[in-house]
Structure 1
Amino acid sequence: MQISRSLTSVADLPVETVERKGFGHPDTLADGIAEAVSQAFSKACLEGEPGAVLHHNVDKVYIGAGHIASWFGGHEVREPVVVRINGRMSSSYGGTDLGIEDIQIAAATEYLSVFAPHYRVGETIRIEPNATQHTKRPHWFTPRDLADVPDAKEPRASDTALCVAHAPLSPTEYIVRELEYALWDWSGEHPVPRWSDVGQDVKVFAWRTGRRLEVTACVPLLSDTVASLDAYLERIRHLEGELQTIAERLAAGRLDVRLRVNPVDTPQGHRCYMLALGSCIECGEEGVVGRGNGWNGLISPLRPRSMESPFGKNPAYHTGKVYGQVAQRLADDIHQRFGVACSVWLSSPNGYPLLPPHNIWVELPPGEGPDDRELEAFVQERLQNTQVPGDMLVRRYRP
């Protein structure tokens, strides 16, 4: 384990940029569907005869090809959106079919019902299960018994991967993430949109200079609810005021926030951000896994970022998934225990035991935090208490 004390907090930099692609953004939807399918399959394996998570990776989900026209007061479905679940999944165990197509369709349908609530599978969305069993290893995706799943007994790094996590969020990061979360009501079993006339394909971008934070929120209105351009502009002004109030509350005096919603003016007039059902998947845009938010739900260009996208990867022994979550939990634990900002880097060569990671690097600010011996003991204790896959199967509604 290596410890360095050279960390500069992004909150102390003169300039900071942060972005979040909201839940209905094509890329975030792809991430979420991939994760939902992986978790559903993993739970079915653990609760069924295998009793262990079988080999799978569905981290190549694709969404696109939709064509739904919209105008003030209405819309028309011309071509449904396609969700293609690409990747590989174990299709049988001990000669018994696992019904992976049904698992893929059910998990994707449930996820879309929450985060793309205005679309209907079979009407405006078509789901295409496309997970294969192609491999050079016999029985890797058609195991006869757990002897064909060696990772289940002795998890090893499935790839040489580097994952990095940071804690705490900077004030800019916190505002950007929580501002998009505020578009949802989280009080029930599943989140629901806070406003019935607002779509889900939201993007929040912030640029901080010193204490001044400029936030741009792109928020679509649903076309059926907007009668005219004047009605659109009036609703956007009202929405801008509400989000400005929320942003100021989140800033809590730490930053001076100026927020704008859909500020797109052209020589021809204002360009409306208006969608039929709430996401740009309906008008030709496409989404794929790994192009959007990181595990913490943000895109922070001034922080080092994991090269692996965790969404859809095997939660029991895929390095890029396990280390991403372990690194984030470890960073959070260090911050909570010692009150210090930190970055945690984890990696292991391909084939090494998965836990504890072979390479551990913790970065702290100069002159802050515990001494090296106390920190190392704390990290080792936390790693010893990490259980795979149990700790990895926490259902997250906030990718």
Structure 2
Amino acid sequence: VMVERIDNKVGITVAAAMVSKYINDVDEYINYTNQIKDAVLDLAAKIIPEREVTCQVNVADILEKELLFLTITGTSAEAGDDGEVGRGNRSNGLITPCRTMSLEAVCGKNPINHVGKIYNILGTEIAREIYKRGEGDILEAHVKLLSQIGRPITDPWVNSIELIPAENVNFASIEKIAKEVSEEMLSKESLIDLRKRLIAGKIQVF
């Protein structure tokens, strides 16, 4: 799934290969792609009702030549397009080259003290909580955490928080929210809880 937003317009492109043995003909294939499109637009209407959303499914299809996005096994390994830990392994599942993101994959790292895993998750959770507590006064929150060998996880070498306020909002008030959230979520108790949730599989890691 690829998503682009320009101002209030959101364009969603879905590449959904279908296992050929389950598709009887072109009409059935088209019916499934339409169902996917409808499901995406219905979900978008619930999540971002204020946006103008469009959706395209399997845009490389050439229907008149019956060139469709089909697969035999259900994996892109058929075409040699495979990998171990790839682009999709961001902790929030998104690939955002025009937005702040970490190049560190979360999977395969220990949840006790590997900051590549912990800070990735924690940065996202801090940003979400700041945005939530802003109650509309904060349009965006971006959190960057950087560790250094020998430093406690509760004391990042860099803890950078960027805020975009709504119009006519006093910046000092939202700065106070950001500091409070950061201090709370970098506490020893909060980090122990984060570890427990990671070990229990309660946190999305890709």
Q: TM-score normalized by structure 1?
A: 0.44
Aligned to 1:355: 154
Distance (Å, rounded) in 1 between the aligned partners of 2:27 and 2:177: 62
Aligned to 1:288: 84
Verify: 1:380 aligned to 2:183, yes or no: yes
Verify: 1:309 aligned to 2:108, yes or no: no
For 1:278, the aligned partner's letter is G
Aligned to 1:236: 33
For 2:45, the aligned partner's letter is E
Q: 1:369 to 1:257 in 2, by over 3 A?
A: farther
The residue correspondences of 1:159-308 to structure 2 (distance < 5 A) are 204-252=1-49, 254-266=50-62, 269-308=65-104
Verify: 1:393 aligned to 2:199, yes or no: yes
| Deviation for aligned residue 1:270 | 4.3
Distance (Å, rounded) in 1 between the aligned partners of 2:78 and 2:27: 24
Verify: 1:331 aligned to 2:102, yes or no: no
| Deviation for aligned residue 1:266 | 4.8
Q: Is the 8 A contact 2:185 2:191 kept in 1?
A: no
Q: Is the 8 A contact 1:215 1:257 kept in 2?
A: yes
For 2:33, the aligned partner's letter is I
More strand by share: 1
For 1:251, the aligned partner's letter is I
| Deviation for aligned residue 1:240 | 3.1
| Identical residues among aligned pairs (%) | 26
- SS of the aligned residue for 1:216 comes to strand
RMSD: 2.7
Distance (Å, rounded) in 2 between the aligned partners of 1:283 and 1:292: 18
- SS of the aligned residue for 2:143 comes to strand
Q: 1:209 to 1:272 in 2, by over 3 A?
A: same
Q: Is the 8 A contact 2:2 2:13 kept in 1?
A: yes
Between the two proteins, the alignment pairs up a number of residues equal to 195
Structure with more contact order per residue of length (Cα contacts < 8 Å, sep ≥ 6): 1
For 1:219, the aligned partner's letter is A
Q: Is the 8 A contact 1:325 1:392 kept in 2?
A: no
Q: TM-score normalized by structure 2?
A: 0.78
Aligned to 2:142: 343
| Deviation for aligned residue 1:295 | 1.0
Q: Is the 8 A contact 1:207 1:215 kept in 2?
A: yes
Q: 1:348 to 1:247 in 2, by over 3 A?
A: closer
Distance (Å, rounded) in 2 between the aligned partners of 1:259 and 1:308: 30
- SS of the aligned residue for 2:90 comes to coil
Distance (Å, rounded) in 2 between the aligned partners of 1:277 and 1:284: 13
Verify: 1:321 aligned to 2:113, yes or no: no
| Deviation for aligned residue 1:378 | 4.1
For 1:291, the aligned partner's letter is R
Q: Which sections of structure 2, spanning at least 5 residues, go unmatched?
A: none
The residue correspondences of 1:72-221 to structure 2 (distance < 5 A) are 204-221=1-18
* Higher mean C-alpha displacement, 296-305 vs 260-269: 260-269
| Deviation for aligned residue 1:308 | 1.5
For 1:361, the aligned partner's letter is S
- State the Cα deviation string for residues 91-141 of structure 1 (Å, max 9, x = none): xxxxxxxxxxxxxxxxxxxxxxxxxxxxxxxxxxxxxxxxxxxxxxxxxxx
Q: 1:398 to 1:275 in 2, by over 3 A?
A: farther
- SS of the aligned residue for 1:327 comes to helix
More helix by share: 2
| Deviation for aligned residue 1:286 | 0.9
Q: Which sections of structure 1, spanning at least 5 residues, go unmatched?
A: 1-203
- SS of the aligned residue for 1:311 comes to coil
* Higher mean C-alpha displacement, 337-346 vs 261-270: 261-270
| Deviation for aligned residue 1:283 | 4.2
Distance (Å, rounded) in 1 between the aligned partners of 2:65 and 2:150: 59
- SS of the aligned residue for 1:370 comes to helix
